[in-house]
C-alpha cells in the first residue's frame, strides 16, 4: 500500500497511527500542502477533493477520508480493534472521532485558514479563528467523556484500557491545539488520554516531527 500524506496533516497523522497499531506495512509518499501540491493533476487523480490522506491499495483502489481509511484497516486487520463490539459503545466512539474530524479539524484546517486570510484577515486573525474553534470543540469532547460508561476514568485511553478510533482522532487534534496555543487546563481527561497514547510506540512513531518530510 502507498499512503500519500503530509507531515503536519492531522488526517494523515490518524492513518499513520492506525497503520502502526495494526502493524501494516506501507510506502509513504508526500504532498506539500503549503505549496499546493495536493491540487496538482496527479494528486487530484488520487483524491478529487485535493486533500490528504489517500491510501492506494495493492490492487490500485484508492481510499480517502481518514476515518473511512482507519475503519477499512480495522476490517482487514481486526487486531487490535479500533472499535468496541457493542453497538452503543461503537456509536459513541464514532461520534467522538467525528466530532473532531468533522466539527473541529474541518473548520481549522489549512484550507479554511487560507480562506480566512483571503477574506482580508491577517495571520493573527486566522490563528485566533483556529484557536477558538479548537478550544470550543475540545471542551465538548471533554464533556463527551464525562460520566459515561467506557470513559477515561475506566482506563487510560478515551474509551477504556486500549486505544481506539477516538484516540486516533484525539492525539493529532491535541497536537494542533498546542500548536495554536489552546489552554488545555480544563480538559484533564483529554490530556490524560493523550499522554497514555503518546507513551506507545505506534503513536510516537507517527508524530509529525518524526516523518521524513518534516520541516
In this predicted structure, what is the pLDDT of residue 70? 98
Alpha-carbon distance of 164 to 161, in angstroms, equals 9
Along the chain (215 residues), what's the average pLDDT of each consecutive run of 10 residues?
A: 97 98 98 95 95 97 98 98 95 96 91 92 92 97 77 75 97 97 96 97 98 97
Instruction: Give φ, ψ of 157 to 5 degrees.
Output: -105, 180
- Domains belonging to the chain, first-starting first, are 2-80+205-210 (3.40.30.10), 87-204 (1.20.1050.10)
In this predicted structure, what is the pLDDT of residue 147? 60
In this predicted structure, what is the pLDDT of residue 151? 47
pTM to 2 decimals?
0.93
pLDDT in tens, 143-190: 998 865 544 456 899 999 999 999 999 999 999 999 999 999 999 999
Amino acid at each position: 500500500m502507498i499512503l500519500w500524506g503530509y507531515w503536519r496533516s492531522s488526517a494523515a497523522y490518524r492513518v499513520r497511527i492506525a497503520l502502526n497499531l495494526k502493524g501494516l506495512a506501507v510506502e509513504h509518499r508526500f504532498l506539500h500542502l503549503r505549496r499546493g501540491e495536493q491540487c496538482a493533476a496527479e494528486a487530484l487523480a488520487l483524491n478529487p477533493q485535493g486533500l490528504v490522506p489517500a491510501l492506494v491499495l495493492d490492487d490500485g483502489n484508492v481510499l480517502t477520508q481518514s476515518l473511512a481509511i482507519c475503519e477499512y484497516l480495522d476490517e482487514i486487520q481486526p487486531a487490535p480493534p479500533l472499535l468496541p463490539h457493542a453497538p452503543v459503545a461503537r456509536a459513541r466512539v464514532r461520534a467522538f472521532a467525528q466530532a473532531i474530524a468533522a466539527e473541529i479539524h474541518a473548520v481549522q484546517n489549512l484550507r479554511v485558514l487560507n480562506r480566512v486570510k483571503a477574506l482580508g484577515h491577517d495571520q493573527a486573525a486566522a490563528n485566533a479563528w483556529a484557536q477558538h474553534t479548537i478550544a470550543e470543540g475540545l471542551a465538548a469532547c471533554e464533556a463527551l467523556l464525562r460520566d459515561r460508561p467506557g470513559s477515561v476514568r475506566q482506563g487510560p485511553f478515551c474509551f477504556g484500557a486500549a486505544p481506539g478510533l477516538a484516540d486516533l482522532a484525539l492525539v493529532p487534534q491535541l497536537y494542533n491545539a498546542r500548536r495554536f496555543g489552546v489552554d488545555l487546563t480544563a480538559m484533564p481527561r483529554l490530556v490524560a488520554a493523550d499522554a497514555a497514547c503518546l507513551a506507545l510506540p505506534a503513536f510516537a512513531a507517527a508524530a509529525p516531527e518524526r516523518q521524513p518530510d518534516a520541516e
